[in-house]
Amino acid sequence: MPQAKLNFSRAEFERRLIKTRQEMQQRGLDLLIVSDPSNMNWLTGYDGWSFYVHQCVILPLEGAPIWYGRGQDAKGALRTCFMEPSDIIGYPDHYVQSPERHPMSYLAAQLTDRGLAKGRIGVEMDNYWFSAAAYMALHANLPNAQLTDATGLVNWQRAVKSEAELALMRQAGQIVGRMHERIVEKVEPGIRKCDLVADIYDAALRYDPAIGAGGDYPALVPLLPSGADASAPHLTWDDAPMQSGEGTFFEIAGVVKRYHCPLSRTVFLGKPTQRFLDAEQAVLEGMEAGLEKARVGNTCEDIARAFFDVLQKYGITKDNRTGYPIGVSYPPDWGERTMSLRAGDTTVLQENMTFHFMTGLWMDDWGFEITESIRIGDTGPECLANVPRKMVVKD
């Protein structure tokens, strides 16, 4: 079997395992079952579009992790994980989407055979990839184990990025810059949104020798609602022509080896209305205030309060958080699902934490986004992309 293609050194993977096991010991866990594909990737390197079926990584307190998934995906694990073939377990295909048997029942039997079906076992109860049926199958077939919630355990270990991770995120920042350049070049009244999205994907994926990377697929598709549709933050696109006199925000991300750098900018076709000009002024001033607080030793809420205080001065209400951590991700979300930039989150900022500073406004019948992806530093943040921080106005 050819050697696996790893994006990080074995030493880096070992550091990740040590951090995770230390937290397991703090929580009194004997075993951890990880079903979040981002966490599976971070722990082992596994990278495949197989998260539509049941799969997981099993982490005991000692020894190598175990990859578990559909049998036909086991070769993908051998090609992307650092473990030996003996630590790759594939389940038979008659378990796939079967009303008669569940893949977690097969996993329970495998754990029993390896002497791991006992003690306190952590599972990620509240994520997109671990179902109620999965929990019930494990509970029924592991009578000597106590299942306990370990949602977010691995996610929190991912919060501070290594230099190797940051290098990928900076490349992703260059790619998202290229994507926004393409938008500015192509957007005009009459262009169909589907055609514009085709250009966005083209800019997102092509290899660039100057960057030293080609793009990967994003965890979220491009979001580009216009006019009143932009009051909703998560609408995608259609085949309608873009109209003069409307504002459109473009929320997109550059991605390299699953590491994301999201970035949003707003385009107004024609002469901007006063409320768009006022929104731009408020958001840019608020962002500067928030960025000034984005340094080691401050808290998540320090960034949020600085931003929201400026919005309040302008009479603007934003009733949602203003950012979240980013890094390695799979659909349907490029956030890490831990901290939030909002009042009440007193998480202390550490060097090399990374966030999408999401300053978007979604009002009654319009929306506006200018955002930055940032790395927390000692004296202030590093912006991971270099795109002019302004509203784009084009006739």
Distance (Å, whole) CA 14 – CA 43:
9
Domain boundary residue among 157, 191, 217? 157
Domain boundary residue among 99, 122, 157? 157
Domain boundary residue among 110, 125, 157? 157
Whether the Cβ atoms of residue 392 and residue 368 lie closer than 8 Å to each other = no
Total domains present in the chain:
2
User: Are 214 and 83 within one domain?
Assistant: no
Which pLDDT tens digits describe the chain residue by residue (395 residues)? 568 999 999 999 999 999 999 999 999 999 999 999 999 999 999 999 999 999 999 999 999 999 999 999 999 999 999 999 999 999 999 999 999 999 999 999 999 999 999 999 999 999 999 999 999 999 999 999 999 999 999 999 999 999 999 999 999 999 999 999 999 999 999 999 999 999 999 999 999 999 999 999 999 999 999 999 999 999 999 999 999 999 999 999 999 999 999 999 999 999 999 999 999 999 999 999 999 999 999 999 999 999 999 999 999 999 999 999 999 999 999 999 999 999 999 999 999 999 999 999 999 999 999 999 999 999 999 999 999 999 999 98
SS3 348: strand
User: Are 114 and 250 within one domain?
Assistant: no
Instruction: Specify the pTM.
Output: 0.97
**Per DSSP, which regions of the chain are E strands?**
31-34, 56-60, 66-70, 88-91, 119-123, 145-149, 247-256, 259-269, 324-325, 354-357, 361-362, 367-368, 372-375, 382-383, 392-394
Distance (Å, whole) CA 259 – CA 355:
12
User: Are 246 and 375 within one domain?
Assistant: yes
Whether the Cβ atoms of residue 117 and residue 142 lie closer than 8 Å to each other = yes
SS3 160: strand
User: Are 125 and 259 within one domain?
Assistant: no
User: Are 129 and 68 within one domain?
Assistant: yes
User: Are 124 and 259 within one domain?
Assistant: no
User: Are 138 and 182 within one domain?
Assistant: no
User: Are 76 and 184 within one domain?
Assistant: no
User: Are 223 and 201 within one domain?
Assistant: yes
Q: Domain range spanning residue 218?
A: 163-394
Distance (Å, whole) CA 65 – CA 55:
13
